[in-house]
Structure 1
Amino acid sequence: MFEPLRRKLQQTFSAQEHYDPVWERELDRGDDAGYFPHDSAVWVVHGGMSPIAAGIRALLTQALHPGALAGVAEHSNYQSDPLARLAGTIRWIFTLTYGDTTAADAACAWVARRHEPVTGRYTAGTGEERGYAANDPDLAAWVHLAFADAFLRSHEIFYGPVPQGADAYVREWAKAGELMGVANPPRSEAELREAIAGYEARGELAGGPRVAEVVSFLKNPPLDPVVLPGYKLLFAAVVDTLPANHRRLLGLERPGLGPVPLPARLGGKVALGMAGLALDRRRPAELAARRRLFRLGVLNDLSYPGPGITGSVPVPAGYRTLRVRERVGQGAAAFEALAAGIMAWKLHEVAGLRVRADTPGVQLASRVRLSVGLGPVRLQAPCRVVRLIESENRRGFAYGTLAGHPESGEESFAAVLEPDGSVYLELMAVSRPSGGLYRLAAPVTDAAQGLVTGRYVAAARRLARG
């Protein structure tokens, strides 16, 4: 139902006709947790759908500074290729948010290099002529303030208060300002308000024809007709939430029918809700970061004590064991075909399960959501890969259960090549019902597990035949 909208949104945010978030998936690389912990206010504010609204608000706010606006108008292709500019900004924000420190530093350095030739002159709000440079600390400070204010306010307006507090977000995101050359960025919500008010009091913000040109473009961007209605709702909602003095400088008014205001914020929430239904709640960048954190031992979201119980002897108390070893083919070619199928999620797909994985092939810490059923009535089984099986004659993986899985435990799948050329599928599961209703339904889930296991064996035979 939402596939056309999902496809168009992905194309819009990535500027790719055929969406493939390679750079986002590669954020699972690196050897540290990055600048922002997974339980930080930055992860909360930059997650979900509110950043879509924040992007619009940030562009409108940045445009109020004549120097920042001159740099965009004179040195960017925002009108001829706005999606490429959007994709670049998204890449910087999410790399800084979710990447390790090396990736984040590299992203900031890349932006700084892009900014080096962005220089010129502009007329300040006070009327005097000034020179500008995109890497100038004062302009960088305004851009930082615009981003921080836009993301914080958008989250608060459309989702509610930040659980860790607004001060926590401003304090944490100050690191982004420092990396972009901002001297002493604000570290509390009060300081953020005070810094913005300072630009206003000094008369450094202004409207005018150039601002009107940008606003006109943002009102009616060249978006796909599938996406445009939702964007219009969201734009109106963002305008409704802007401070009155900013709206005046931008030449905008709160949406209404004459003196009667329209429920623009409700429309914005509807638009973000539709986007949330079409897109995954967590972006590939966040999923990649979680893979890295799991690999580094920083994050453990498994729904059982820890990885490795398929290799434990004896198995933990209360867990039952299922072992299957079935001959499914003969020869090295059959072994390679089966191993490749297991590592590409094909064993599960051919067995009749719906597979939604965050990596195209199996890798350590990949997250996969398996489901079985008819139409919308499906049993969901989220898992994370906890071990790779990699030897000359044995290849496969083990995954562990996550919250929401009807079972709690671990399961492994391996293709095995014996000295006589026989090819086997080896499957081992160590699990117990995850609790509550699933304990009561244990006979049903046991029967379902037996049925799926039989399908795995049949699928392995098909894969081994190539």
Structure 2
Amino acid sequence: MAAGDPGLFGPRSVTWQMHGDPMMWIAGVRALYLQALHPRAVRGVVQNSAAFRMTERGRRDAWGRLMRTANFVGTVTYGTTGAAEQAGAAVRGIHRRLTATDPATGERYGVDDPALLLWVHCAEVDSYLQVLRRSGYPVGDAQADRYLREQRASARLVGLDPARVPADRAALAAYFARVRPELALTPEARQIDDFLRRPPTPAPLVPARALLWRPVAALAYGALPAYAHELYGRPAPPPAAVTRRLRATGRVLRAVPPTLRWQLPPQHILRAVARLGPGTRPGPYKLRDSAAILDGQGTQGDPRG
């Protein structure tokens, strides 16, 4: 695509602002915890990933998997339309080739089952909204609904029919209530839990893992809904205490100048700003007093609103 292409969402979208926030990293870990509680979905991950095999390649792939997910979100949010479509086509191609087996019944099924893709999508967008809002990011109710409408574009890229994807908070809550009886703590979910709490790390970096990673994983876990804590079988921390920690963490991370944070690979935001101009830098201040504007411009769910 030519320079100046705003991509699927564009700098006036809620997605553009939210996805530039550093708390997205904690939100992403929260999403992994939540996604792991769907038995069929988590089997697709564990049975097809070297990350959960005790090999050197698996230790490398464990971190690579997290970075590939972050890179996909960054490309879809800040890349050109062509780059986003290409990233989506690559994901769909991978999913089409992968299957998983139910150990109880022997059933073999594709990981591109729309029900599984929908679970992964909903767990992600719910985590992004929950963590950012509880950490003090100024997303109002109308903007949260707008965000969910926008994210149907991301859902389409991974193979979902956007019309079947929750487009507001009420629909998302209804979806979680409907799927809740299907969730369980399976052996595969325990593997994900173990990985997130103690990811494979070279011996010299184990102290750093305890110092840096463990608080991130604990905060992401604490931000889960009550039913997820019940399934994982660990005491749920008081919600008010978790919210205070999220706010404190958000203040610390947001105090780092954005231009410094954005220097970290893969630099999607810097490339987008270079393509579209300095006025397109994402930031929470751009959401102030914009709920009515966004609602008036985006009633049809156009992600470029």
Q: Find the aligned partners of 1:226 and 1:133 in 2 and give their Cα distance.
A: 38
Deviation at 1:133, TM superposition (A): 1.3
TM-aligned CA deviation for residue 173 of structure 1: 0.7
Where 1:78 maps in the other structure, the secondary structure is helix
Q: 1:73 aligns with which of 32, 35, 46?
A: 46
Cα offset, 1:264, TM superposition: 4.2
Question: What residue in structure 1 maps to residue 119 of structure 2?
Answer: 142
Q: What does residue 42 of structure 1 align with?
A: 15
- 1:440 corresponds to: none
The CA RMSD over aligned residues, in Å, is 2.7
* Residue correspondences, number: 262
Aligned: 1:287 with 2:270: yes
For the 8 Å contact 2:8–2:77, the answer to whether it is kept is: yes
Superposed, which structure 2 residues align to 1:17-28 within 5 Å?
none
TM-score, with structure 1 as normaliser:
0.52
Cα distance between partner residues in 2 of 1:215 and 1:136: 24
> Which of 127, 132, 142 does residue 109 from structure 2 map onto?
132
Once the 2 structures are TM-superposed, how far is the Cα of residue 158 of structure 1 from its aligned partner?
A: 1.1
Check conservation: 2:4, 2:276, Cα contact below 8 A: no
SS in 1 for 2:152: helix
Q: Check the 8 A contact 2:134/2:246 in 1, yes or no.
A: no
Q: Is 1:30–1:102's contact at 8 Å kept on the other side of the alignment?
A: no
Identify the residue that residue 463 of structure 1 maps to in structure 2. none
Q: Which has the higher helix share?
A: 2
Say if 2:195 is the partner of 1:195: no
CA change 1:34–1:179 in 2 (3 A) is same
Q: Do the aligned partners of residues 274 and 52 (structure 1) sit closer, same or farther apart at CA in structure 2, a change above 3 Å counting?
A: same
Residues 219 and 278 of structure 1: is their aligned pair in 2 closer, same or farther, counting only changes over 3 Å?
farther
Cα–Cα, structure 1 residues 278 and 291, in superposed 2: closer, same or farther, change >3 Å? Answer: closer
Corresponding residue SS for 1:162: coil
Secondary structure (helix, strand or coil) at the match of 1:132 reads: strand
Alpha-carbon distance between aligned partners in 2 of 1:162 and 1:215, rounded to the nearest angstrom:
29
The residue aligned with 2:232 is 250
Q: Does 1:61 align with 2:34?
A: yes
Structure 1: distance between partners of 2:183 and 2:16: 30
Alignment of 1:18-417 (within 5 A): 30=3, 32-79=5-52, 80=58, 81-122=61-102, 130-163=107-140, 165-183=143-161, 184-200=164-180, 203-222=181-200, 224=205, 225-226=207-208, 228-255=210-237, 263-276=241-254, 277=256, 280-282=260-262, 284-294=267-277, 300=279
Q: Which runs of no fewer than 5 residues in structure 1 stay unpaired?
A: 1-27, 303-466
Equivalent-residue separation in structure 1 for 2:171 and 2:240 (angstroms): 32
Q: Residue 97 of structure 2 aligns to a residue in which SS?
A: coil
Identify unmatched segments of 5+ residues in structure 2: 53-57, 282-305
Query: What's the offset of the Cα at 1:120?
Result: 2.2
Which position in structure 1 is the counterpart of 2:297?
A: none
Per-residue deviation, 1:182: 1.4
Partner letter of residue 147 of structure 2?
A: Y
Amino acid at match of 1:166: A
Alignment partners' CA distance in 2, 1:293 and 1:246 = 41
Shift of 1:101: 0.8
Task: Give 1:209's aligned amino acid.
Answer: P
Post-superposition Cα deviations, 1:71-127, rounded to whole Å, max 9, x if no partner, equal 11110122422111011111110000001110000001111122222102226xxx7
SS at 1:120's partner residue? strand
Counterpart of 2:137 in 1: which secondary structure?
Answer: coil
Q: CA deviation at 1:268?
A: 4.3
The DSSP-based 3-state class of the residue aligned with 2:101 is strand
8 Å contact from structure 1 (residues 48, 282) kept in 2 = no
